Structure 1
Amino acid sequence: MKAIIVCTSVSHGNTKKIADAIGDVLQARVVDPGQFDATELAAYDLVGFGSGIYLGSFHSQLRAFVDTLPAQPQRKAFVFATSGFPESRIHRFSGPMVDSLEQKGFEVVGGFSARAFDTFLPFKLVGGLRKGRPNDSDLESARSFAEHLRNAVGTAS
């Protein structure tokens, strides 16, 4: 199975840490959407899409990248995010990204979220919240998620 991870990580490097942990297990290259040619996706069996969460949504750069993708019929994908807060039942921040990917023809086979250092106002005024996150436990959870993906998708390919 050949995998790649498209990741936007801008504030504190939180999402890149998670992407690297997942990428190590999947032996996947981690790329920024602004530095990757979407036509190359055809070479991959599994594509990960991840970013921090900003005002309840994936980063605008990643959303714009997905919007410009050509159809990807039957290509498998997963999503991941870092956020100061978990998804709520009322507003699932991964939902719109999953919907966008499915509209492009991807089969979304998994999702992962980790808590992360957050300095969005008003939290910046008190030095932020979730200091030290993602931590070793979060990175281990990301690796476990990737192992599950590798086992599930690798045997189906």
Structure 2
Amino acid sequence: MKAIIVCTSVSHGNTRRIADVIAEVLDARVVEPGEIDSAELAGYDLVGFGSGIYLRSYHEDLRSFIDSLAVERRSKAFVFATSGFPDKGIHRFSRPLVQLLEQKGFDVVAAFSSRAWDTYFPFKLFGGIRKGRPNADDLESARTFAEVLRGSVQDSLPGTG
């Protein structure tokens, strides 16, 4: 299985830490949106997309990159994020990104979210929330997520199941 992770990590390196753990398990390269193009993405069985969450949304650079992709049949994909708050309830921040990826032709098979140090306003006034996150437990959760993801994607590839 050939995998790549497209990641935007700008504030504290939280998202990159999660991406690196997932990449290690998937034997994947981690790139920023400007380091890969649509044609190169076609060569991967699995593509991950991740960033920190800003005002309940994935980073603009990641969203713009995905938005610029042509609509065509694409590989399997997963999304991941780091945030001061959980990705749950009726206002899940992963839902719009999953929908955009599906519109571009990806088969989104999984989503992962980790709590992380968040210093976005107004939290910055108080030193932020979730300082020290992602911690060892969060990184282990990312590793477990990636192991399960790897197994399920490999089992679904032609000639492997």
Which TM-score bucket, shorter chain as reference?
over 0.9
Contact 2:42/2:74 (<8 A) preserved: no
Which whole-Å CA distance do the structure 1 matches of 2:44 and 2:74 have between them? Answer: 11
- Provide, for residues 93-144 of structure 1, a one-character-per-residue CA deviation record: whole Å limited to 9, x for no partner: 0000000000011100000000000001111111111010000100000010
Matched, 1:63 2:63: yes
Deviation at 1:38, TM superposition (A): 2.4
Deviation at 1:74, TM superposition (A): 4.4
TM-score scaled to structure 1, two decimals? 0.97
Which whole-Å CA distance do the structure 2 matches of 1:84 and 1:97 have between them? Answer: 18
Matched, 1:104 2:69: no
- Provide, for residues 35-59 of structure 1, a one-character-per-residue CA deviation record: whole Å limited to 9, x for no partner: 2222200110000000000000000
Write the mapping of 1:1-150 to structure 2, written as runs, cut at 5 A.
1-150=1-150
Deviation at 1:90, TM superposition (A): 2.6
Gap regions ≥5 residues in structure 2: none
Q: After TM superposition, where is structure 1 displaced by more than 6 Å over at least 4 residues in a row? A: none
Gap regions ≥5 residues in structure 1: none
Task: Provide the secondary structure at the position in 1 that maps to 2:130.
Answer: coil
TM-score scaled to structure 2, two decimals? 0.95
Task: Provide the secondary structure at the position in 1 that maps to 2:71.
Answer: coil
RMSD of aligned residue pairs (Cα, Å)? 0.9
Deviation at 1:10, TM superposition (A): 0.3
Which whole-Å CA distance do the structure 1 matches of 2:4 and 2:136 have between them? Answer: 23
Task: Provide the secondary structure at the position in 2 that maps to 1:144.
Answer: helix
Task: Provide the secondary structure at the position in 1 that maps to 2:133.
Answer: coil
Which whole-Å CA distance do the structure 2 matches of 1:112 and 1:123 have between them? Answer: 23
Identity percentage over the alignment? 68
Which whole-Å CA distance do the structure 1 matches of 2:58 and 2:97 have between them? Answer: 7
